[in-house]
Amino acid sequence: MSGSTPASPTVSDAAGALREPKQVSLGMEAWRRFRRHRLAVAGAFILAFMALAVLLGPWLWPVAINDIDFTSRLQGPSWKHPFGTDDLGQDLLARMIYGGRISLAVGVVAMLIAVFVGVVLGAISGISRGSVDAALMWVTDLFLSLPQLPMLLLVIYLFRDSLKKYIGAEAGIFILIVVVIGIFRWMPVARLVRAQFLSLREKEFVEAARALGASTTRQVVRHILPNALGPVIVAATIDVAAAIIFESTLSFLGLGFPPDIPSWGRLLYDAKDHLDVATHWALFPGGAIFLTVLSITYIGDGLRDALDPRRVM
Amino acid sequence: MGKYLLRQLLIIIPKVIGISIVLFTVLALAPGDPFEELATNPAVPPEVRANLRAQFGLDDPVAVRYVRWSTSMAKGDWGFSFASRVNVDELILQRLPTTLAVIGSSIVIALVIALVVGVYAATRPYSLFDQIASTFALIGFALPTFFTGIVFILVFSIALDWLPFVYRADLTATGWRWAWEQFRQMLMPVMVLALFQGASWTRYVRSAVLDVIRLDYVTTARSKGLAERVVILKHVVRNALIPVVTVVALQMPTVFGGAIVTEQIFRVPGIGSLLISAILANDTPVIMAVTFVLSCLVILCNLLADIAYVWLDPRIAYR
């Protein structure tokens, strides 16, 4: 999977057509396979739309997220408030845009941490034989059997206040949540990478590199790792969805972001006591989480088809 | 078989010790004093506080504290709750049956859904049923439990007014009436969990059955004239279940996490809601104990999975 992402299709098409009509780069081939999974493409579009909406939203909808207006409490959707208002008369569309930024950012950053830790530990354990491998796998199995949500709650409970004191409420909670989710999600990636390494390190091309005198680091970084990344990319996609769900769960339990930082889960938590009078309040953030996770899952499915060359398509 | 079981039981011991080390490390690394609640009380003079610290051994090195903590946990002395002044083990024993009932029944229902739908869909791949089932499985998997819980309350409690949305531990009815009330209030929490897990397991069952159904021995079984029912149930499903058991065991932490959420939504008085209320009340001994109990339950489920392997494929025991 060392092929770069398809840059501009027209240019590479033209270049390809000039030299050799049948030659297609790995990235182009993956893109062709991905496109055949129609739901994955739809998911990619929806996710791109959501990302754009939360990035550009504050300019297109310049309403403060904490504008309290008691004359319009718990109102349903209207032209003035497209997503309605909450019990303090705050505009829900503005809060949803803000919350989307938090939820998506948590998802991506937590995924990066989990994948980084997983790839490093999986690679070390996959390339080294004997006691190092055994010890790392034991730790992986141990972390796999830890109940993640209670551990997350425990860590957040123990570290929340002091981090808030040193870094500030918003950044402190963000860093804590992202790091903790990352720490409890790296195990599947580590196992995947290790399994890939175990088979790849015996392949001829690695042996050739070794025969040419490549150091272990070079073998790993230049030869084994790029070939092991396909399944990791798929797992990383799913990890984004898992991290978004984790963050919403924490906020939904009242232990994630504080009420002045309305992530989607926090909006749901605030909405759950007013279900009978303000249904829209719960349905919009819940629907947003659902749509994001569904899109990411379909994208993951599409990537699996695209990045597995053994699959005939 | 006996040897295999003994080995699996012995593997548990280092795992439990490992988990207790992880828990204790987290607690020891945490800034702030777990006894802050007592220490910041102005009615307690500084000498008394110092005596208390010495009595609880807070000034000793970490390793000494770990050994003392773990031995007292092993002896069954789990301390007392700061918030309710009750022994922690009593508190947990009170709450545990409810949680086990909710989790147990939802796992059973989820497995039934996953097996029936997954096997039926896999024996008719790419049919209309398969496509509908796959779509629903993905949707159910993408709907987080806290959102389905809220939607269930909106539909079944508020719009239709069929089911109560607050779980009551003090039902006054007796006999059949009690059983009916209990069933009604368990239905939503259990189904929220069961549908989520069922959806995700359905996908694994389907792909596992599809992997096995192409193998030669299945063709052999068919060609010797066995009924399709027998081929599927006795030859295909049994072998397809082995990877499914792995996935189910691996997802146990998720199940327990989901149980915490549903207990919180429907106010079920289990250990999940005990954990949340303990966190909100800064009740450290209860938090530690509940997390430890939940970890042990996950390990117990993994042991059950290991036993299930042997039942599915007796060769595993002789490896």
- What DSSP letter does each residue of A207-270 carry, written as one string? HHHHHTT--HHHIIIIIIHHHHHHHHHHHHHHHHHHHHHHHHHHHHTT-SS-TTS--HHHHHHH
Average the pLDDT over each of A219-233, A256-270, B24-38, B155-169 and give the range with the smallest value.
Answer: B24-38
Asked whether the beta carbons of residue A253 and residue B260 sit closer than 8 angstroms, the reply is yes
Mean pLDDT, range B206-222, rounded to an integer: 87
Asked whether the beta carbons of residue A158 and residue B19 sit closer than 8 angstroms, the reply is no
In this predicted structure, the answer to whether residue A18 has a pLDDT above a threshold of 60 is: no
Residue A272 with chain B: CB contacts under 8 Å: 150, 265
Residue A258 with chain B: CB contacts under 8 Å: none
Residue A256 with chain B: CB contacts under 8 Å: none
Mean pLDDT, range B41-66, rounded to an integer: 71
What confidence category does residue B302 fall into, taking pLDDT thresholds of 50, 70 and 90?
A: confident
The size of chain A, in residues, is 313
Asked whether the beta carbons of residue B150 and residue A149 sit closer than 8 angstroms, the reply is no
In this predicted structure, the answer to whether residue A3 has a pLDDT above a threshold of 80 is: no
Q: B49 to chain A nearest CA, in Å?
A: 21
In this predicted structure, the answer to whether residue B25 has a pLDDT above a threshold of 80 is: yes
What confidence category does residue A14 fall into, taking pLDDT thresholds of 50, 70 and 90?
A: very low
Mean pLDDT, range B236-247, rounded to an integer: 87
Asked whether the beta carbons of residue B144 and residue A241 sit closer than 8 angstroms, the reply is no
Helices (H), chain B: 2-29, 36-39, 46-56, 62-74, 88-123, 128-142, 145-152, 175-213, 216-223, 228-230, 237-250, 252-265, 271-280, 284-312
Asked whether the beta carbons of residue A153 and residue B275 sit closer than 8 angstroms, the reply is yes
Asked whether the beta carbons of residue B150 and residue A272 sit closer than 8 angstroms, the reply is yes
Greatest distance between any 2 Cα atoms in chain B = 86
- Identity of residue B274: L
Integer Cα distance of A74 and A90 in angstroms: 9
Q: What is the DSSP letter of A21?
A: T
Task: Measure CA of the first residue to CA of the last residue in chain A; give whole Å.
Answer: 17
A146 closest CB neighbour out of B22, B265, B288: B22
Integer Cα distance of A240 and B45 in angstroms: 50
Asked whether the beta carbons of residue B298 and residue A289 sit closer than 8 angstroms, the reply is no
B19 closest CB neighbour out of A142, A161, A293: A142
Asked whether the beta carbons of residue A154 and residue B23 sit closer than 8 angstroms, the reply is yes
A75: left (phi over 0), alpha (psi -120 to 50) or beta: beta
pLDDT digits (tens, 9 = 90+) for A27-73: 777 788 778 778 888 888 989 988 888 888 777 777 776 766 666 66
Q: Find the residue in B nearest to A155 (Cα).
A: B26
Q: A70 to chain B nearest CA, in Å?
A: 25
Integer Cα distance of B241 and B246 in angstroms: 9
Q: What is the DSSP letter of B126?
A: T
CA B217 to chain CA centroid, Å, is 36
Residue B36 with chain A: CB contacts under 8 Å: none
Using DSSP, state whether A85 is helix, strand or coil: strand
What pLDDT is attached to residue A112? Answer: 93
What pLDDT is attached to residue B20? Answer: 87
What pLDDT is attached to residue A110? Answer: 92
Percentage of chain B beyond pLDDT 70 is 91
What confidence category does residue B168 fall into, taking pLDDT thresholds of 50, 70 and 90?
A: confident
Residue B142 with chain A: CB contacts under 8 Å: 241, 290, 293-294, 297
ipTM: 0.79
pLDDT digits (tens, 9 = 90+) for B76-123: 777 777 777 788 888 888 888 888 988 999 999 999 999 999 999 888
In this predicted structure, the answer to whether residue A113 has a pLDDT above a threshold of 90 is: yes
What pLDDT is attached to residue A117? Answer: 93
Q: Does A174 touch chain B (CB under 8 A)?
A: no
B30 closest CB neighbour out of A159, A286, A298: A159
Per-chain mean pLDDT for chain B: 83
pLDDT digits (tens, 9 = 90+) for B255-282: 888 888 888 888 888 888 888 888 888 7
Q: What are the backbone angles phi and psi of residue A235, rounded to the nearest 5°?
A: -65, -35
Q: Find the residue in B nearest to A166 (Cα).
A: B31
In this predicted structure, the answer to whether residue A5 has a pLDDT above a threshold of 50 is: no
What pLDDT is attached to residue A7? Answer: 45
Who wins on pLDDT, B283 or A78?
A: B283
What pLDDT is attached to residue A144? Answer: 83
In this predicted structure, the answer to whether residue A2 has a pLDDT above a threshold of 80 is: no
Asked whether the beta carbons of residue B261 and residue A268 sit closer than 8 angstroms, the reply is no
pLDDT digits (tens, 9 = 90+) for A232-271: 888 888 888 888 888 888 888 888 787 778 888 888 888 8
What pLDDT is attached to residue B115? Answer: 92
In this predicted structure, the answer to whether residue A89 has a pLDDT above a threshold of 70 is: no
What is the pTM assigned to this prediction? 0.81
What pLDDT is attached to residue A8? Answer: 45
In this predicted structure, the answer to whether residue B151 has a pLDDT above a threshold of 70 is: yes
Pick from A151, A276, A292 the residue to mutate for testing the B interface (most B CBs within 10 Å).
Answer: A151
What pLDDT is attached to residue B282? Answer: 78
Q: Does A144 touch chain B (CB under 8 A)?
A: yes
Integer Cα distance of B74 and B20 in angstroms: 11
B15 closest CB neighbour out of A142, A161, A253: A142
Asked whether the beta carbons of residue B147 and residue A294 sit closer than 8 angstroms, the reply is no
Q: Does A276 touch chain B (CB under 8 A)?
A: yes
In this predicted structure, the answer to whether residue A137 has a pLDDT above a threshold of 60 is: yes
Mean pLDDT, range A13-37, rounded to an integer: 66
Pick from B146, B152, B276, B287 the residue to mutate for testing the A interface (most A CBs within 10 Å).
Answer: B146
Mean pLDDT, range B10-24, rounded to an integer: 86
Per-chain mean pLDDT for chain A: 80
Average the pLDDT over each of A116-130, A263-277, B224-238 and give the range with the smallest value.
Answer: A263-277
What pLDDT is attached to residue A310? Answer: 56
Who wins on pLDDT, B180 or B260?
A: B260
Q: What is the DSSP letter of A189?
A: H
Integer Cα distance of A140 and A190 in angstroms: 8
Residue B280 with chain A: CB contacts under 8 Å: 254
Kindly report the CA angle at B315 between B311 and B319, in degrees rounded to 5?
A: 120
pLDDT digits (tens, 9 = 90+) for A157-206: 888 777 777 777 677 788 888 888 888 888 888 988 888 888 888 888 88
Question: Quick one: which H or E segment has residue A204?
Answer: helix A204-211
Q: Find the residue in A nearest to B302 (Cα).
A: A145
What pLDDT is attached to residue B278? Answer: 86
What pLDDT is attached to residue B110? Answer: 93
What pLDDT is attached to residue A308? Answer: 67
